[in-house]
Amino acid sequence: MPQRVEIFDSTLRDGAQAEGISFSVEDKLKIVKALDELGISYIEAGNPGSNPKDIEFFEKMRTMPLKNARLTAFGSTRRRDTTVENDKNVQSLVSAFTPAVAIFGKSWDFHVTEIIKTTLEENLKMVKETLAYFKKLGKEVIFDAEHFFDGYSSNPEYAFKVLEAAVEGGADCLVLCDTNGACFPSTVFELVRKVKETFKVKVGIHAHNDCGMAVANSILAVEAGAEHVQGTYIGFGERCGNANLSTIIPNLQLKKGIHCIPEDRMSSLTFTARKLAEIANISLNKRDPYVGSSAFAHKGGMHIDGVCKASASFEHIDPELVGNKRRFLMSEVSGRNTILEKIREINPSINKESAETQAIIQKLKELEHEGYQFEGAESSFELIIRKQLGKYKPFFELEKFKLMTEQPDRGSQSASALIKIKVDGVSEITAAEGDGPVHALDRALRKALEVFYPELSHVHLTDFKVRVIDSRSATAAKVRVLIESTDGETSWTTVGVSRDIIEASWIALVDSIEYKLLKELEKKIKVYI
């Protein structure tokens, strides 16, 4: 196995091909900065000639120096029956002025004859001539052998001829692409090892996740000798996505001792995952290994007891190594120790027999009887603990609010909210429109509070769930509302319960804002100390 592996991120190109993903130029610049700060080796930034947005992006990147990563333009070999000098795609890659280029070419005979409609011999020339052209220009050339594993299965001799043509053209790295995501780890291992034995250049892997094995295939490729791994940082991409680099990096670096990024950046893995999810306007998968919010979440009482005594009993690594944190979920199976651990985060002097502990447990039972559930809303539970311990002071006071909805619903901005709040004796009244009453109320509240707390301008809701608790009561049933919020760096969830959905939403909304303000206050106190 290699001692070091190059990490090649394709979020801006392969990731942008995922359903529901659309990056602005500013989004792309932010992603480049985040990945560069993490210490990623290569950032593939798309095809500079494919659209005006990418042209603008590459122009802006010329004045944006990178500390760790090499910006890489992506494109295909020259077209059939033309020259590299006359191929617009090739020339657009030249105009990007990137130090590296990633060139993809066909390695499956079926694609050569049936998709790009040329001869097998012409395809070999296309590969060799295109790579040789960029080498003469002084570029680092990465060759992506598209559909390599399918190509080898169909015609192994020709698939290797394509790699040979790439090496003759000057390829610095041969990347074997499981473009259809259909390969099994054992096959990847065997072929990567065979390619390594045949060619004296770096070998890489580019795995898709259509069979759920992209990470495993990438790890096995490295064990077979690959020194270059491609993927997208949080795994999204076309169809089922690409190999998830936020999983691959810690697997290789922490488990295998293979260097991927600077050691001092490992603790930024979770932060970077959340940042990229925020920029992409998606929710980070809670169950993602290492960086997901559930990656170190414990619910069973025996598990929690074990973790408290020796964390390694139920955790494969210390969550702080990747910038994540341990969570004890509040539920009927979590036990008294879970509650005590939460209390001790606020007041370490309290023990299991303290009167405060008994009072908080009693309050929890009362709230659960009303329909509250804190398993996914630890932020609301922390506020309850603070209130019971006398460590809570409201950041604002509601004087009144009024909601108006338009019926029939005529689409966007169908509701408006008027709200009056008071902060330290000073009143503020404002109004806002929204897509429904809760959205309007959320916008009006934050708009009023931003006058006093500007940090709330970065906060917005990312999820809103409503659960009917006692459906037998029909329209008079209690509802539980869960609200997930983010400031772009961290996420938190709060809960509210009522027979009035607006009131339940208001309770969860207030908790969300108060929790954010509380954490901001704690940051300021730490800085002052």
* Secondary structure, 3-state, 461-527: EEEEEEEECCHHHHHHCCEEEEEEEECCCCEEEEEEEECCHHHHHHHHHHHHHHHHHHHHHHHHHHH
Cα(212)–Cα(216) distance, rounded to whole angstroms? 9
Cβ partners under 8 Å of residue 6, min gap 6: 41, 42, 173, 202, 204, 227, 228, 229
Cα(194)–Cα(197) distance, rounded to whole angstroms? 5
Tokens describing residue 303: 């598990």
Tokens describing residue 57: 């992006």
Among 5-9, 88-92, 134-138, 240-244, the minimum mean pLDDT is found in 88-92
Architecture (CATH level 2) of domain 397-528: 2-Layer Sandwich (3.30)
Q: What is the 3-state composition of the chain as percent helix, strand, coil, each rounded to the nearest 5? A: 45, 20, 35
Closest CA to 289 of 317, 253, 331, 330: 317
Cβ partners under 8 Å of residue 27, min gap 6: 279, 280
The pLDDT tens digits for 27-67 are 999 999 999 999 999 999 988 876 788 889 999 999 999 99
Q: How many CA atoms lie within 13 A of 49 on its CB side?
A: 13
First-to-last CA distance in the chain? 47
Contact 100, 139 (CB under 8 A): yes
Read out DSSP for 312-340? GGT-SS-GGGGT---EE--STTT-HHHHH
428 phi, psi to nearest 5 deg: -140, 130
Q: How many CB atoms lie within 10 A of CB 240?
A: 15
| 164-184 average pLDDT score | 98
∠ CA 81-87-89, rounded to 5°: 125
Closest CA to 13 of 85, 81, 93, 87: 93
Q: How many CB atoms lie within 10 A of CB 466?
A: 12
pLDDT(152) > 70: yes
Per-domain residue ranges of the chain: 6-280, 297-389, 397-528
Cα(351)–Cα(340) distance, rounded to whole angstroms? 7
Query: In this structure, are strands 297-298 and 491-498 parallel, antiparallel, or unpaired?
Result: unpaired
Question: Would you state the pLDDT for residue 435?
Answer: 87
Q: How many CB atoms lie within 10 A of CB 434?
A: 20
Among 190-194, 229-233, 308-312, the minimum mean pLDDT is found in 308-312
The pLDDT tens digits for 75-86 are 999 999 999 999
The CATH class given to the 6-280 domain equals alpha beta
Tokens describing residue 368: 């659960």
Contact 305, 341 (CB under 8 A): no
Mean pLDDT of the chain: 91
Closest CA to 77 of 134, 16, 30: 134
Distances (CA, A) of 476 to 365, 436, 473, 500: 23, 20, 5, 8
Percentage of the residues of the chain whose pLDDT score is greater than 90: 70
pLDDT band at 15 (very low <50, low <70, confident <90, very high): very high
- 499-503: list long-range contacts, CB under 8 Å, 24+ apart: 499/473, 501/466, 502/403, 502/437, 502/438, 502/441
Tokens describing residue 361: 């447990």
Question: Would you state the pLDDT for residue 276?
Answer: 95
Contact 319, 348 (CB under 8 A): no
Among 17-31, 195-209, 480-494, the minimum mean pLDDT is found in 480-494
∠ CA 274-278-280, rounded to 5°: 115
- Residues making up the chain, counted from first to last: 529
Distances (CA, A) of 52 to 47, 93, 103, 279, 316: 11, 14, 21, 20, 46
The pLDDT tens digits for 93-141 are 999 999 999 999 999 999 999 999 999 999 999 999 999 999 999 999 9
The pLDDT tens digits for 323-372 are 998 887 766 555 566 778 788 888 888 887 888 888 888 888 888 888 88
Q: Read off the pTM.
A: 0.78
Query: Which residue type sits at 382?
Result: E
Query: In this structure, are strands 327-328 and 100-106 parallel, antiparallel, or unpaired?
Result: unpaired
Of 325 and 176, the structure prediction assigns the larger pLDDT to 176
Cβ partners under 8 Å of residue 483, min gap 6: 461, 463, 464, 465, 493, 494, 495, 496, 505, 508, 509, 512
**In the 3-class helix/strand/coil scheme, how is 122-180 assigned residue by residue?**
HHHHHHHHHHHHHHHCCCEEEEEEECHHHHHHHCHHHHHHHHHHHHHHCCCEEEEEECC
